[in-house]
């Protein structure tokens, strides 16, 4: 019964997340559409919390995952009214994710893993620094990107399935860089409007399902 309930929450999240991408471009972001937007990650948070309640041995990590998804949902809603409020919630979510990934490190690292993680740490903030046309925004954007890149690098170094969790974190990073590109080179482009949401939502979906899958299996080499 609990597994069926978790499946329902997951399917509902995918329905809200995918459909928001389709309807957001056609409507103004009024209260109903903003709630629709927040439902995608909010339902993933419930999905993760349901897993935590059903799996005592994984309760701590699954609860951290639920917090990450809940903070993402809050950020999705808050950013519609105030950019800095949304960014603060996302950044807090990155910090929680760093704690989760750091406590689930991949103990037998593959050759080259530290180099990949270092590249992520350097490249994401470096790209973010170049994007704002208003150079006074560059330090703030880069500070946020530092938290984002640390989260992504730690996802890469974690024991969770890379095909889901690390890939999802990289999609999240790409989505945020596209948001920053609206401040500069892609200000008049349709590309961010088309790609920001699907990269972000499906990245978070991969993170959520990948972490939960990893919590039910022995650590990977």
Q: What is the DSSP letter of 136?
A: G
* Number of structural domains found in the chain: 1
Nearest-angstrom CA–CA distance, 34 and 79: 10
Q: Does residue 38 have a pLDDT over 90? A: yes
Between residues 18 and 25, the one the model is more confident about: 18
Q: Is residue 87 part of a domain?
A: yes
Pair of tokens at residue 82: 């105030």
Between residues 104 and 29, the one the model is more confident about: 104
pLDDT band at 27 (very low <50, low <70, confident <90, very high): low
Side-chain half-sphere CA neighbours of 91 within 13 A: 15
- Percent pLDDT > 70 in the chain is 95
Q: Which residue has the tokens 């080179």?
A: 185
Q: Is residue 193 part of a domain?
A: yes
- Percent pLDDT > 90 in the chain is 84
- Give the torsion sign (CA, 120, 126, 131, 134): positive
Model pLDDT for residues 151-177, shown as the tens digit of each residue = 999 999 999 999 999 999 999 999 999
Q: Of the ranges 52-56, 111-115, 129-133, 185-189, which one carries the lowest mean pLDDT score?
A: 111-115
State the average pLDDT over residues 90-101.
98
pLDDT band at 4 (very low <50, low <70, confident <90, very high): confident
Q: Is residue 209 part of a domain?
A: yes
Q: Does residue 219 have a pLDDT over 80? A: no
Q: What is the pLDDT of residue 65?
A: 99
pTM of the model: 0.94
Q: What is the pLDDT of residue 221?
A: 44
Q: Is residue 152 part of a domain?
A: yes
Q: Does residue 220 have a pLDDT over 80? A: no
Q: Is residue 220 part of a domain?
A: no
Question: For all residues of the chain together, what is the average pLDDT?
Answer: 93
- Host domain of residue 104: 2-215
Contact present, 61 and 104 (Cβ < 8 Å): yes
For 77-113, the DSSP string reads HHTTT-HHHHHHHHHHHHHHHHHHHHTTB-SSPPTTH
pLDDT band at 26 (very low <50, low <70, confident <90, very high): low
Between residues 22 and 151, the one the model is more confident about: 151
Q: Which residue has the tokens 């990245």?
A: 203
pLDDT band at 136 (very low <50, low <70, confident <90, very high): very high
State the average pLDDT over residues 30-51.
94
Q: Is residue 221 part of a domain?
A: no
Q: Is residue 42 part of a domain?
A: yes
Q: What is the DSSP letter of 218?
A: P
Q: Is residue 210 part of a domain?
A: yes
């Amino acid at each position: 019964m609990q597994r069926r309930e978790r499946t329902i929450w997951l399917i509902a999240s995918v329905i809200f997340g995918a459909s928001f991408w389709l309807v957001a471009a056609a409507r103004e972001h009024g209260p109903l559409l903003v709630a629709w937007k927040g439902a995608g990650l909010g339902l993933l948070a419930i999905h993760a919390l349901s897993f935590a309640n059903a799996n005592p041995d994984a309760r701590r990590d699954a609860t951290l995952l639920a917090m990450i998804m809940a903070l993402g949902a809050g950020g999705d809603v808050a950013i519609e009214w105030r950019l800095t409020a949304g960014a603060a919630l996302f950044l807090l979510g990155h910090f929680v994710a760093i704690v989760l990934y750091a406590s689930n490190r991949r103990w037998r690292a593959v050759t080259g893993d530290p180099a990949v993680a270092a590249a992520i740490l350097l490249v994401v903030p470096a790209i973010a620094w170049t994007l704002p046309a208003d150079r006074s925004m560059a330090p703030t954007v880069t500070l946020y990107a530092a938290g984002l890149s640390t989260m992504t690098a730690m996802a890469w170094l974690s024991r969770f399935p890379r095909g889901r969790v690390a890939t999802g974190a990289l999609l999240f990073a790409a989505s945020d860089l596209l948001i920053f590109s609206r401040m500069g080179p892609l200000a008049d482009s349709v590309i961010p409007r088309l790609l920001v949401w699907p990269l972000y939502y499906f990245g978070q979906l991969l993170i959520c399902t990948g972490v939960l899958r990893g919590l039910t299996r022995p650590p990977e080499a």
